[in-house]
Amino acid sequence: MTTIYDVAKAASVSPKTVSRVLNGDAPVKAETRDAVEEAIRLLGYVPSSAARTMRSNRSGLVGLVTGAISLAPQSTDVAGLPEIFIVQGIQRSMELFGMTLLISDTGGRSERVPPLIRTFTEHRVEGLIYVASHHQSVVLPDLPQSTRLVLVNCFDDRQTPAVVPDDREGQRRLVREIAARGHTRIAYLSLSPSLVATTLRKEGYRTALDEAGLPYDPDLVAVGETSADDPSSEIMRQEVERLFSLAEPPSVICCGNDRMAMRLYGVLRSSGYEVPRQVSVAGYDDYRLITETLFPPLTTVELPYVAMGERGSDRLLSLIGGSDPAQGDPERIAGDVVWRDSVVDRTRHS
C-alpha cells in the first residue's frame, strides 16, 4: 500500500510538504504542488480519511436513520408519501456542502433505532438525522450531550430540533382556495383520528371556513378510515351516502390524502356521481403517481417532503457549525396548493 512517505520520495519533498498539499493548511509553491500531485497520481495514493479525522476532529460524515428503503412500497397507507422523498432532499443538501450521508434502514423495527444510532456515533459522524414515516411524536434513546441531532417528520418532548409539515396551514390554504372558487358546502373526509395530521388538518379546515365567512357544519366532517393500517372503502361508502342524504349536500369533498381521494373516485362513480360535474374532489400530498394519473387530475396540496429534508439538512449543518439554537419548537414547512381539474370553479359556472 502506497504511503505518504512513498509520495514524498517520488516528488523529492518531505512528508510534511505532502501533508500540506493534501490538507491545504499551509502555502506551497505551485511547482512543488504540481510535483506532489503528479506523484500521487502515478502512485495511486489514497489519503487516509481516518487519519485526517483524527487530526481535524472532522469526519465529513452525517448519519441518517430511516425506514424509507425497506418500507417504501407500503408506507403510503399512513404517510401518503413515501419518506424516501425526505431522504432525497437531505441527500441533495448534503452533497452541496460536501458531506457524506450514511444511511441505515430500520426495517420498520423501532428496536433497531438505538443500536443504529450508537453505531453512527462510534463511527464519529458529525451529526444525526432521524426521519419518521409520518408526522408523529417519537421517543428516542438517550444520547451523549454532545450529539447533534435533528428530527424530520417527527418531534419529541425534549425540544430536539425538528422539521415537520405544517398540516394546519396546508389544509387552510386548500380550503381557502376552494371557497374562493364559489364552494360554500365543503366536506372533509379525514384520515384516522389517531394521526397527528388529522387534528391539525381539521383545525386548518375550520380556520379557512371562518376566514371565508362560512359556518362550520359538523355534519360535513366524516371519517374516511378508522385505522391507518386498514383503510376501508366500505366506511367511506357509508359516509358518502350520509353526506348526500343531507338537506344541503356538499359540492366538494376534501380528502385526508391523495390515496383516499383515489378510493373516493371509485366510490362516487359506483354510486352514480360524476367527478367533478356533480361533486368535486380534493386530496392532500400531491403524490403525483396518483394526482396526475387520475381522471380528472386531482386538485391537492403539496406535502413538502423534499423541502423538509433540505431544511433538516440545513438545520443540522448549522448545528455542526455552532450557529443554530439546540432547542426550540418544531419548524413547520407548508406546501402549496396544486390546482387541477377535479374541483369545479363555480365562479365561472354561475
Is the pLDDT at 226 greater than 60? The verdict is yes
On the 0-12 / 13-18 / 19+ scale of CB atoms within 10 A, 258 is: buried
Tell whether the model's pLDDT for residue 168 goes beyond 50: yes
Tell the CATH superfamily of the 61-165+305-333 domain. Answer: Response regulator (3.40.50.2300)
In this structure, what C-alpha cell is assigned to residue 7?
A: 509520495
The residues facing 253 across adjacent strands are 187, 281
Nearest C-alpha neighbor of 300 from the set 243, 255, 268, 267: 255
- Exposed / middle / buried, residue 104 (Cβ in 10 Å: 0-12, 13-18, 19+): middle
Higher pLDDT, 161 or 95: 161
Q: Is the pLDDT of residue 227 over 80?
A: no
Segment among 33-37, 320-324, 332-336 with least mean pLDDT: 320-324
* Lowest mean pLDDT, pick from 46-60, 100-114, 151-165, 231-245: 46-60
Band the pLDDT of 74: cuts 50, 70, 90: very low
Mean pLDDT on 78-91:
81
Asked if pLDDT for residue 75 goes beyond 50, the answer is: no
Stretch 182-204: mean pLDDT: 95
Residue pLDDT, tens place only, 270-309: 999 999 999 999 999 999 999 999 999 999 999 999 999 9
H helix count then E strand count, the chain: 14, 12
Answer whether residue 350 shows pLDDT above 60: no
CATH class of 4-47: mainly alpha
Residue 322 — pLDDT band, cuts 50, 70, 90?
confident
Distance CA(82)–CA(328), nearest Å, equals 27
CA distance 6 to 26: 21
Question: Which residues of the chain are in CATH 1.10.260.40 domains?
Answer: 4-47
**Is the pLDDT assigned to residue 233 strictly greater than 80?**
no
Complete DSSP assignment for 187-240:
EEEE--TTSHHHHHHHHHHHHHHHHHTPPP-GGGEEES-S-TT---HHHHHHHH
| Arithmetic mean of pLDDT, 97-121 | 82
Q: Does 54 have pLDDT greater than 80? A: no
- Domain(s) of CATH 3.40.50.2300: residues in the chain: 61-165+305-333, 167-303
pLDDT band for position 232 (50/70/90)?
A: low
> Whole-model pTM above 0.95?
no
pLDDT tier for residue 325 given thresholds of 50, 70 and 90: low
Question: For the residues 23-46, what does the mean pLDDT come to?
Answer: 83
| CATH architecture label of 167-303 | 3-Layer(aba) Sandwich (3.40)
Non-local CB neighbours of 206 within 8 Å, separated by 6+ positions? 216
**Range of 78-92, 200-214, 218-232, 327-341 with top mean pLDDT:** 200-214
